[in-house]
Amino acid sequence: MQQGLRSTDILLRSGQEPIRFDAPRLAVSMRGTGCMLASAIAAHLAKAKRLEDSVREGKRFVFEQLQRNSTE
């Protein structure tokens, strides 16, 4: 599987255009990032944030964790 310079997640909703969430791809590997992303999104939804904002904040959280992990 070829990996590009960007990491993109796509939010698909019925009857609406897809929304892309893009971040630089970091040269670090970490287990559990999918679960971390889902949990971060759920946490933001629990705080009554909109779905799109929750996904954006979740993606930012995972990126920051990966970035922190790459400097340790």
Q: How far apart are CA 2 and CA 12, in angstroms?
A: 23
pLDDT on residue 1: 47
Judge whether 55 and 9 are in contact, CB under 8 Å: yes
**Token pair 């893009």: residue:** 22
Helices then strands (H, E): number in the chain? 2, 2
Per-residue pLDDT of the chain (72 residues; tens, 9 = 90+): 457 789 999 999 999 999 999 999 888 888 899 999 999 999 999 999 999 999 999 999 999 999 888 776
For the chain, give every domain's residue range. Answer: 32-72
Q: How far apart are CA 15 and CA 29, in angstroms?
A: 35
